[in-house]
Structure 1
Amino acid sequence: MTLEASTAVTLFMALAFVGVHLFVGRLRFLEKTPRSRWLSFAGGVAVGYVFLHVMPELAVHATTFERATGLDAAAAEGAIYALSLLGLVIYYGVERAIVSSRGERRPDAEPSDGVFWLHIGASALLVAIIAYLLNHREDTSAIGLALFFGAMMLHFVTADFGTRSTHTRIYDARGRWVLAAATMIGWVIGLLVELPQLAIGCLFAFVGGGIILLVLKEELPEERRSRFVPFILGAGAYSLLVLAERTAHQFS
C-alpha cells in the first residue's frame, strides 16, 4: 500500500471513530435493560484485541525497552507490563471519582462538572493515542490494520455509550466534540511525528490497561445485567479471525 493510500485509509478510519463519538446517542437500540447484546459483543471483541494483539506486541516492545534502557530481560518486561497496569489504575481512579462525586445522591445522578471534565480528559487522551496508533503499529499489514480498526470501533461504541450514560447532558453539548477533536489531533500527530519504538511500546501498554478496565467496568456491575453469551461470542469471533489471519500469513 502506498503512503498516499495508507493515509487515506487511516483518515477514513479516524473519521469513522469521530462518527461514533458524535452519534452514539442516536443508537437508541443500545439503551435497554438487560444490557444490549451488541454492547456485550463489542466488549468481548475489545478484550480479545487486548489479549491477542496488544499483549503479544508488548513482548516484542519489551526487547526494545531492554536495549534502550540497559535493563535485563525480566526487568524490561516488568516495566512494560507495569505501564499497562498504570493505564488500568488511572482509569479505575477516574471511575472512583465519578462514584465519589455522586455521594449520597441517587446512584444514577450525574456527577459534578469537574468530574465530567476529568472523565472526558482521560477519555480524550485514550482516543488520541488510539488514533495516533492508526499510523504507527507493529503489525503494518492491511488485515492487521482492519482488525485493529474493527476492535477499536466496537470499543468506542461501548466506552462512549457508557460515558454518555454517566454525563448525558454535558456529553451531548460538549463532551462528544472534545472526543472528536482528540481523535483528529491524535491522527494528525501520527502523520507528523514518528515516535521511537520504545515510546510506541509504552503507548500500547498504557492503552491495553485502559481498555481492560473500561470494558470490565461496563460489563461487570450487577445493575448492567450484562450478557455473558454475546460477550463470549465477541471474544471468540475476534480470536478466530486473528488465528485465521496468522495461520494464513504463516503459509503465504
Structure 2
Amino acid sequence: MSIDIIIIVVFFITIHLLANKIIPSEHFKRLRWMSFSGGLAVSYVFVYVLPSLHREQQKLKDYSSTLAMESELYVIGLLGLLLFYSLEKSLSYAQLKGSAEKNTVFWLQVGFYTLYNMLISYTVVASNVEGIQAAFYGAAIGLHYIAVANDLSLENPDQYNKVGKFVLAFGILTGWGLAIWVTVSSVVQAFIYAFISGAMILNVLKNELPKERNAHFLSFSMAIVSYTSITLTLKYFFEW
C-alpha cells in the first residue's frame, strides 16, 4: 500500500474528528466556505466521477458474454442514488414525528453514513491512487465529508461530538481494512464504485449544492472554475 493512500485515509478520519473546528462559525464566512465546498464537490462529480464511471464501463467489455447492455454500471449507480434517496426520505419523514424519533433518526443517519464512508474508503484504497491524483481525489472527498459531518453535527451536536464522529471515522477504518484483507474481482470493484458514485451524486446535488438564500455565488463559481481547470490540465499531462 502506498504512503499516499495512508495519508488520504488519515486525512478523512481527521476531517470527521475536527470538522466542527474547520468550518468557520461566523455566518458570512460559513456561507462562503460551504459554497466553495459545494462548488468543488459539483466539479468533482462532473470532471472525475462521471468520466471514471464511463471508463469502468468500457473495461467491462471483456465480460460482454454476461454483461451485454453496455450500461450496467450506470444502472448500478442509479440504484445507489435511488436507495440513498429513499432512505433520506424515510428518515426525513420520521424526523417530523417527535423528539424521540429525532434521536433515533440521527443514529440511523450515522449508521447510514458510516456504511457510506466504509464503501468510499474501500474504493479509495482498492483503486490505489497515487501522487497528484491522490491529492485531488482526497481534497474533493475530504470537503464532501466536511459537508456530511456539518449536517450531522447541526442536527445533534452533543451526540455527534461524543460518539457520532468516532463511529463515522470507524467506518473509514473498516473500509480500509476490507480493502487490505478482502480481494474481489475487478467487476465487483466496478460495481461498488458505481453504487457509491450514484449515492455521492445524490448527496452532492441534493445536500451540497448551496440553496439560493445560502449561496455565495462567487465562491461557488471560483471553486468550480479552479478545480475543473486544474483537474483537466493534470488529466491532459498525466493521462488520468
- Range of TM-score over shorter length: 0.7 to 0.9
Q: Which residue of 2 aligns with 1:163?
A: 152
State the match for 2:114 in structure 1.
124
Structure 1 CA distance, aligned partners of 2:195 and 2:26?
A: 30
Q: For the structure 1 residues 128 and 31, does the alpha-carbon distance in structure 2 shift closer, same or farther, using more than 3 Å as the test?
A: farther
Residue 27 of structure 2 corresponds to which residue in structure 1? 32
Residue 100 of structure 1 is matched in structure 2 by 93
Partner of 2:161: 172
State the partner residue of 1:189. 178
Name which of 208, 226, 230 aligns with 2:215.
226
One-letter amino acid matched to 1:95: E
Residues 41 and 208 in structure 2, CA contact (< 8 A), matched pair in contact too? no
Find 1:59's aligned residue among 25, 36, 54.
54
TM-score, normalised to structure 1, is 0.83
d(CA) in 2 for partners of 1:176, 1:110: 21
Change (3 A) 1:206 1:110: farther
Q: Which residue identity does 1:115 align to in structure 2?
A: V
Deviation at 1:219, TM superposition (A): 4.0
Corresponding position: 1:243 with 2:222 = no
2:80 paired residue number: 87
The 1-side partners of 2:113 and 2:103 are apart by 15
For residues 152 and 38 of structure 2, the distance between their equivalents in structure 1, rounded to whole angstroms, comes to 14
Task: State yes or no: 1:9 paired with 2:4.
Answer: yes
Q: Matched residues, percent identical? A: 28
Residue deviations 1:107-155 (CA, integer Å, cap 9, x gap)? xx79523322221122111111221122222x84422211111111111
2:103 maps to 113
Q: Tell me, in whole angstroms, the C-alpha distance in 2 between the residues paired with 1:100 and 1:110.
A: 13
Structure 2 match to 1:18: 13
Shift of 1:13: 1.6
Which amino acid is the alignment partner of residue 193 of structure 2?
F
Classify the secondary structure of the residue corresponding to 1:189: helix
Residue pair 2:118, 2:175 contacting (<8 A) in 1 also: yes
> Equivalent residue of 1:112, what SS?
helix
Q: Secondary structure at the match of 2:215?
A: coil
Q: State the 1:176 CA deviation.
A: 0.7
Per-residue deviation at 1:222?
A: 4.6
> TM-score, normalised to structure 2's length?
0.87
The secondary structure found in structure 2 opposite 1:36 is helix
Partner residue, 1:76 = 70
Aligned to 1:48, the other structure's residue is in SS state helix
- Native 8 Å contact 1:41 1:231 kept in 2: yes
- Counterpart CA distance in 1 for 2:206 and 2:61 is 33
Measure, in 2, the Cα distance between the counterparts of 1:90 and 1:43. Answer: 22
Could you report, residue by residue, the CA deviation over 1:83-123 in whole angstroms, capped at 9, with x for unpaired residues?
A: 21222222222322332123266xxx795233222211221
Query: Unmatched 5+ residue regions in structure 1?
Result: none
Query: What CA RMSD, in Å, does the superposition of the two structures yield over aligned residues?
Result: 2.6
Q: Counterparts of 2:83 and 2:26 in 1: how far apart (Å)?
A: 27
CA contact (8 A) 1:54 1:205 kept: no
List gaps (5 residues or longer) in structure 2.
none
CA contact (8 A) 1:87 1:210 kept: yes
Q: In structure 2, what is the equivalent of residue 136 of structure 1?
A: 126
8 A Cα contact 2:35 2:209, kept in partner:
no
Amino acid paired to 1:59: H
Number of residue pairs matched by the alignment: 239
